[in-house]
Amino acid sequence: MSNVIPLTVLSAVAVLDNKLEGWTLLEVPATEPRVFSFVVAFERAFSSAPLVHAAIAGFDVENHDSARLRVRAENITPTGFVIRVETWLNTRVWGVEVSWLAIGYT
């Protein structure tokens, strides 16, 4: 008999776009990067902070612009994390789909 505790895996796709409050990725400032943060709450808590992988599943960028886009999972806790989407220079982002996967123990 083994004392191995099975891992729990949670996943989803977050659809983030210009309809969300605080969306700043369409504004083109002189020098600063623009960041949009979105809080993800897990449907059930992990016993400790899980490993979280976030990836771009799709995006809608203004057709005149270069596609400058960065996505990260930050502030990971047992109950959730923050998706951070960033763009810079003249890129105007209308929307981003972020696929995420959390692996840990519950």
Say how far apart CA 64 and CA 48 lie, in whole Å: 44
Domain assignment present for 15: yes
Q: Give tens-digit pLDDT for 71-96.
A: 999 999 999 999 999 999 889 999 99
* The pLDDT value given to residue 49: 97
> Tell me, what's the pLDDT at 54?
97
Domain for residue 26, yes or no?
yes
Task: Indicate if the pLDDT at residue 3 is higher than 70.
Answer: no
Q: CA–CA separation, 29 vs 39, rounded Å?
A: 25
CATH number of domain containing 65: 2.60.40.2080
Q: What total number of domains does the chain contain?
A: 1
- Tell me what pLDDT residue 15 has: 97
Q: Residue 91 has what DSSP assignment?
A: -
Note the pLDDT of residue 77: 98
This model's pTM is above 0.85: yes
- The beta strands (E) that lie in the chain are given as 8-17, 34-41, 51-61, 70-77, 80-87, 93-104
Q: Are 95 and 18 in contact (CB under 8 A)?
A: yes
Q: What is the pLDDT of residues 29-57, one digit of tens each?
A: 767 889 999 999 999 999 999 999 999 99
Q: Judge whether 3 lies within some domain.
A: no
Q: Which two tokens stand for residue 15?
A: 């659809």
- 80 domain residue, yes or no: yes
Instruction: Quote the tokens at residue 72.
Output: 């990260």
Q: Please report whether residue 38 resides in a domain.
A: yes
Residue 2, domain member (yes or no): no
Alpha helices per DSSP H over 1-106: none
Flag whether 16 is in a domain. yes
**Range of the structural domain that residue 30 is part of:** 8-104
The pLDDT of residue 1 is: 53
Q: How far apart are CA 35 and CA 24, in angstroms?
A: 7
